[in-house]
Structure 1
Amino acid sequence: MELAIKIFQFILSISILVILHELGHFLPAKWFKTKVEKFYLFFDPWFSVVKKKIGETEYGIGWLPFGGYVKIAGMVDESMDTEQLKQPAQPWEFRAKPAWQRLIIMMGGVTVNFFLAWIIYGCLSFFNGETVFDSTKVNAPMNYTHVAKAMGFQDGDKILKVDGKVQNNLDKLSLDILLSDDITVLRDGKEVTFPTNDDGKALAFKDPNPKAFLTPRYPAVIDSIYNAKTAAAGLKVGDQVISANGKKIAYYDEFQEVVRNNAGKDLNIEVSRNGAVQPLVLQVSKEGTLGLASYKQLTKYAETKHFTFAQSIGRGFTRSIESLTYQVKQFKLIFNSKVQGYKKVGGPLAIIKNMPVDKAKDGSVSIDWTLFWSFTAMFSVWLAFLNLIPIPGLDGGHVIFTLYEMIVGKPVPQKVLENAQMVGVIFLLGLMLLIFGADIFKIITNKF
């Protein structure tokens, strides 16, 4: 059921993005009286799932869920249909239109993608507000794992700046550190700036959750118990663990470490309950867990900010730019020879696996619509950026050739356009096969 919901979310999100992107090309093309021969969701090599011709345009759904397209008459596109281009240009063809009109048609898709992200983020800010985990409310030193220490952190450090900028949002702090060049901390009463070590970043990327190297510290007060054996041993919600196997426990992460180190063994603990100390013996699973949690305390660090309609417009734009900036910055980790972030890059199968769902205590799974729309907005602004990359076969390639014509005063030769488009299509198909192949390889080798 969970997989089915994730697949449904992925298809729904992609369908929304593709249809609106292609509408961005379709509408200005019709506005400038350019003939649009096809409008397709997904690709349809050899056959289509559904198709219907309305007027001069065939609308349909293809079977290959890699995107979609509009086929505009007189344009060199991914269909590589060049027979029509051998004939004299007709007034209703793309190639017969002024360069500025062709530029608007080509920019329509990415423009719609960006505005869609802007609108979604603006609506999320207006209707839901934004919950921020404020690091300034964390009084205790952060918990630095061995990964954080490999980056250059030391126990007791208080983070002041990341790349010279203050970041008080705990949700963004870990990612900012992974993308940073240097960190400024308060260490032993002095400001110290050190470069973030790539070896530590490489260790972070080997973890299933790369951002788990940095967490706020809080007392080991138990607020949830999921394991019947743990509950039967006498542990109760509200108990504060003060020692484990003779080791004093001040913070929950210290307790977690002792639990992991005693996988498959009995664990002697002491808890503070109603002002009295209570000894207990708990059985740790072979996986090094007790089936309990202490995460609700994190809510004291959270603050929800609400926005007026006017404020949400500006905030939607800012969030779109922030989302794009974070994604572009991640290229430095992907191509870093030490970090090898490319190993974490996944295709559609990886995206489906990581689609957000809402899991209830009874085990049922449903769509978390806030997370769904956040994902769609993020993906939309990312698609806008990717489509602007000047590679033939993408909108950016067409834009570059059109801008060249506008600057030089004459069009790029038709044969050059055809050859460039062919190279671009082959490159993009090869890239798709590589990404899909990497996903399948990870599934086969159980590294997915």
Structure 2
Amino acid sequence: MDLLLSTNFLHNLVTTFGSQTFWIKALELILSLSILVFIHELGHYMWARIFGIKVNKFYLFFNPSLTLWKWKPKNHKHAFMVRASNAKITDEEGNEYEDEDEKEDAKLPSNYKATWRDTEYGLGWLPLGGYCAIDGMVDETQSAEKLKRPVKDFEFRSKPAWKRLMVMIGGVLNNFLLALVIYAGIVLAYGEEFIPMQNATSGYEFSPSAHKIGFVDGDIPLSADGKKLEFLDGKAMQAMVEAKQVQVLRNGSDTVVINIPDKYLFTVNKEMEDGRNFIMLRTPVVVDKTMPNMGAEKAHLRHGDHLIAVNGVATPSFNVFTAQLLANKGKTVPLTVVRNADTVTVDAPVDNAGKLGFQLANPITFYKTITKHYNIVECVPRGIKLGVDQMVSYVKSLRLIFTKEGAQSLGSFGAIGNLFPEKWDWQYFWSITAFLSIILAVMNILPIPILDGGYVLFLLVEIIFRKKPSMKFMNVALRIGLWFIILLMAYAIGNDVYRFLIK
């Protein structure tokens, strides 16, 4: 058994790292993270400089033991391939310092006016993030001895709580704004594809309250109070729930009129608060690509396969399909597949979380669409709408992390890298980068010590109760937060290793 596991691991390792697809995705991931980390840390840097706070270091990528390049404008010094030294520096009075920069810092007068030239800019070798070392901030970049010294005017800790709060949320703000800018840029450069209401030939799915008043899954809405419905968007949905009558196409040929109850809008709003949408596009189950070493790959499913039944039960939509997988989790079940012009049956193992492991094809690829183009003025509100909707959707999905299935789906850089396409596609790249920017903003604002949200929480407590948390409390909280993040990352990386190399 152990030999079999080792052989399987080595085979998957060679297959994964030896493929061109891996290196393309890795390059896309590194480029995307570089942009996101730079913009995030720039947010902290900008607000610190606005408030006259000295920034000691600004680094893209981490630099444990080795720095690829560093530059300090104040001293006109730059260097390549610099190894870190653990040796402490002592001055003539016997005071110990971490490095020459800290020694120089100690000599600066309290009223010193810090500039951008005081910062050391650098490039690390570990592309897992970056950092902005802000003078006088209680974090992992500051020595305990330094924070015991008298507070100086240019330090973070000398500033009012509201200024420190702005410095801490600067990174999150930048990431969210970056997402809005990218979404606006995408619709400006490429336009936006829409599926006209009548072109969604598989129809739509409706909420329980919609079923009660006469809608049937598969219906295609045609008009609301006689006005034609063009696309499924917020405007069309509002028109339907506020109308007196909605006309739908049923079974591809029958026209049915549905009477909408008075004040039905309030019922729909209540359902939406509970996470149920009044109407959703009915998405056929079409495979885009399979995930390594999971049931879909083992069943030899291919790009373009249309899955129409699970264990003999028809699956006209993805929602019905996922429900059937959950009902058969941990089993090997027959799938009915339409492949090209043929209908075939394949046996596929469903894992214990009710997953087959494939990426669903975008409905735009198999429904006839039209492209809407935006000018430079129109793209701004559209970009904002797309970014806000994506953020709200992601925040709502966070609750799933606390389920067994959600915990099993957690991943690190392997899972993130797998989001990118196998072939370089700039539109897809920027779309994923915008999504990751929102994820980075949301995750960083979580109230966990060591993350931006942890500092924000402490600052809000200080503002409300007008008392700073003690240095001892802050250090203990940061250590706990650091270990929590390390353990969480270890778990996520373990999931990636198991998912891509072992399973």
Scaled by the length of structure 2, the TM-score of the pair is: 0.58
Q: Which of 80, 89, 94 in structure 1 is aligned with 2:151?
A: 89
SS of 2:53's equivalent in the other structure is coil
Q: Compared with structure 1, are the counterparts of its residues 255 and 408 closer, same or farther at alpha carbon in structure 2 (3 Å cutoff)?
A: closer
SS of 1:215's equivalent in the other structure is coil
Amino acid of the structure 2 residue aligned with 1:81: S
Matched, 1:335 2:402: yes
Amino acid of the structure 1 residue aligned with 2:161: A
SS of 1:440's equivalent in the other structure is helix
Q: List runs of 5+ in structure 1 lacking aligned partners.
A: 144-153, 161-165, 171-184, 197-210, 218-252, 264-294, 358-364
Cα distance in 2 between the residues matched to 1:38 and 1:424: 22
Shift of 1:142: 7.2
Amino acid of the structure 2 residue aligned with 1:127: A
Identity %: 38
Deviations for 1:372-396, whole angstroms, at most 9, x for unmatched residues? Answer: 1111111112211111111111111
Q: Compared with structure 1, are the counterparts of its residues 187 and 137 closer, same or farther at alpha carbon in structure 2 (3 Å cutoff)?
A: closer
2:489 matched to which residue of 1? 432
1:320 matched to which residue of 2? 387
Matched, 1:215 2:320: no
Matched, 1:261 2:344: yes
Shift of 1:15: 0.4
Q: Which of 302, 306, 309 in structure 1 is aligned with 2:373?
A: 306
Shift of 1:255: 4.6
1:156 and 1:187 in contact (8 A); partners too: no
1:64 matched to which residue of 2? 126
Cα distance in 2 between the residues matched to 1:104 and 1:71: 16
Q: Which of 403, 412, 415 in structure 1 is aligned with 2:472?
A: 415
Cα distance in 2 between the residues matched to 1:320 and 1:133: 20
2:50 matched to which residue of 1? 31
1:44 and 1:62 in contact (8 A); partners too: yes
2:62 matched to which residue of 1? 43
SS of 1:393's equivalent in the other structure is coil
2:25 and 2:420 in contact (8 A); partners too: yes
Q: List runs of 5+ in structure 2 lacking aligned partners.
A: 1-19, 75-117, 206-214, 222-228, 234-247, 261-266, 272-279, 287-335, 347-362
Deviations for 1:239-292, whole angstroms, at most 9, x for unmatched residues? Answer: xxxxxxxxxxxxxx98549845367xxxxxxxxxxxxxxxxxxxxxxxxxxxxx
Amino acid of the structure 2 residue aligned with 1:43: F
Cα distance in 1 between the residues matched to 2:152 and 2:217: 73
SS of 2:154's equivalent in the other structure is coil
Q: Compared with structure 1, are the counterparts of its residues 140 and 355 closer, same or farther at alpha carbon in structure 2 (3 Å cutoff)?
A: closer
1:6 and 1:353 in contact (8 A); partners too: yes
Q: Compared with structure 1, are the counterparts of its residues 421 and 336 closer, same or farther at alpha carbon in structure 2 (3 Å cutoff)?
A: closer
Deviations for 1:393-438, whole angstroms, at most 9, x for unmatched residues? Answer: 1111111111222222222211111111111111111111111111
Written as runs of structure 1 = structure 2, the 5 A alignment for 1:181-220 is 214-215=283-284
Amino acid of the structure 1 residue aligned with 2:431: S
Cα distance in 2 between the residues matched to 1:296 and 1:121: 18
Shift of 1:51: 2.5
Q: Which of 109, 112, 116 in structure 1 is aligned with 2:178?
A: 116
Higher mean displacement: 73-82 or 123-132: 73-82
2:165 and 2:456 in contact (8 A); partners too: yes
2:200 and 2:220 in contact (8 A); partners too: no
2:40 and 2:175 in contact (8 A); partners too: yes
2:198 and 2:220 in contact (8 A); partners too: no
Q: Which of 15, 21, 26 in structure 2 is aligned with 1:7?
A: 26
SS of 1:21's equivalent in the other structure is helix
Matched, 1:399 2:456: yes
SS of 1:38's equivalent in the other structure is strand
Matched, 1:127 2:189: yes
1:356 matched to which residue of 2? 421
Amino acid of the structure 1 residue aligned with 2:475: E
Shift of 1:212: 12
Cα distance in 1 between the residues matched to 2:123 and 2:41: 13
Cα distance in 1 between the residues matched to 2:426 and 2:438: 18
Scaled by the length of structure 1, the TM-score of the pair is: 0.64
Shift of 1:25: 0.7
Q: Compared with structure 1, are the counterparts of its residues 258 and 129 closer, same or farther at alpha carbon in structure 2 (3 Å cutoff)?
A: closer
Matched, 1:158 2:219: yes
1:142 and 1:216 in contact (8 A); partners too: no
Cα distance in 1 between the residues matched to 2:345 and 2:459: 66
